[in-house]
Amino acid sequence: MTAKLITVESTDSTNTAVKQLFDTLEDGSCFCALEQRAGRGRLGRKWVTPPGTALCFSAAFKNVSEAYHAGAIVALAALDVLKNHLPDLPVFFKWPNDLYVRQNKLSGILSEGVISHGKLAGVISGIGINLNQSKEELAQLDNPATSLFAESGCRFEIPPLSRELFARIQELYAEYHHSPQTIISRWQQANALIGHTLEIIRPDGTRMTGIFSGIAQDGAMLLKINGFEERFDCGDVKIDPASLPDFHNSGRSE
Ligand code: BTN
């Protein structure tokens, strides 16, 4: 049995749909919805995307050694697909797995563990990519955001892009099983903000500023604060444009 891509017209949340189907899905199977009615974001937020404007896509992983590897595979696959279409787009990762263009969010990933009989049975990683929202529509959102249309003037169809993402996830997942470190190192390198001064806002609202010194073995963010390395498992990273002088021109590393 091989992994499948399931596409539906509409669902509440592709992550929830995969959670319901998880036991019946082959490892690596993916689920895409043309309309997502109740998308969920990180830290309990909503992810709102009107029909036809965004890629809403979730993948089921049953064989990763660390939970955060699932998000890393999806993020890298998305980066590769986007680069195929728009090679000059300066996309980079903002920890943990947001894709950014300059100061604007293009895409986010929500990874959720699946627990069965008290054990981690796998991880669902769902990605939302802004495709066709206009600049005016994006301006209504709470935080600075962009879309492929806003960046390139081209409209994107969901089904072909979702097939490309599915195919790239299969390739990277196979490569990951052969050599996990190759994939994780690539993901770390695409975290272009390593070395920059960043602020992290924890779920309880406390803010810390430090130098993003790297990513721990378990995916936690490492910030050097007053000479001491501190780890953060979750939170919102804020980009300080003043600390990134070349940001508008460079964008990402590979
Ligand atoms: C974030 O940046 O907060 C993560 C957003 C993740 C959104 C995607 S859309 C597909 C999948 N289904 C969901 O309900 N959420 C994720």
pLDDT level of residue 250 (50, 70, 90 thresholds): very low
Tell me the pLDDT of the chain averaged across its residues: 92
pLDDT level of residue 149 (50, 70, 90 thresholds): very high
Report CA(226)–ligand 1 centroid distance (Å). 34
Which pLDDT tens digit goes with each residue over 161-179? 999 999 999 999 999 999 9
- Closest residue by Cα to atom 15, ligand 1, is 40
Query: Mutation test of ligand 1: which of 46, 127, 142, 162 has the most ligand atoms closer than 8 Å to its C-beta?
Result: 127
pLDDT at 245: 39
pLDDT at 246: 57
First to last CA, the chain: 34
* Torsion angle defined by CA atoms of residues 233, 238, 240 and 244, in that order, rounded to the nearest 10 degrees: 60
Please determine, for residue 42, whether its predicted confidence score (pLDDT) is greater than 70. yes
Could you tell me the CATH superfamily of domain 5-190?
Bira Bifunctional Protein; Domain 2 (3.30.930.10)
The ranges of the chain annotated as CATH 3.30.930.10 are 5-190
Look at the block and give the residue holding tokens 């299969």.
Answer: 170
Please write down the long-range contacts of 130-139, taking CB distance under 8 Å and 24 or more positions apart.
130/49, 130/53, 130/54, 130/105, 130/106, 131/53, 131/54, 131/55, 131/155, 131/156, 131/158, 131/161, 132/52, 132/53, 132/54, 132/156, 133/49, 133/50, 133/53, 133/54, 137/50, 137/53, 138/104
Looking from the CA of 170 toward its CB, the CA atoms found within 13 Å total: 12
Cis peptide before 96 (omega within 30 of 0): yes
Cβ–ligand 1 distance for 45 under 6 Å, the answer: yes
pTM for the model stands at 0.92
Q: Which fold has domain 197-238?
A: SH3 type barrels. (2.30.30)
The ranges of the chain annotated as CATH 2.30.30.100 are 197-238
Nearest CA to 104 among 142, 69, 77? 142
Please determine, for residue 1, whether its predicted confidence score (pLDDT) is greater than 90. no
pLDDT at 80: 97
H/E stretch holding 35: strand 30-36
pLDDT at 249: 41
Which pLDDT tens digit goes with each residue over 61-92? 999 999 999 999 999 999 999 999 999 999 99
Lowest mean pLDDT among 131-140, 206-215, 230-239, 242-251: 242-251
pLDDT at 244: 53
C-alpha distances in angstroms, 207 versus 25, 200, 204, 222? 40, 6, 9, 14
Q: What is the position in ligand 1's atom list of the atom closest to the CA of 16?
A: 14
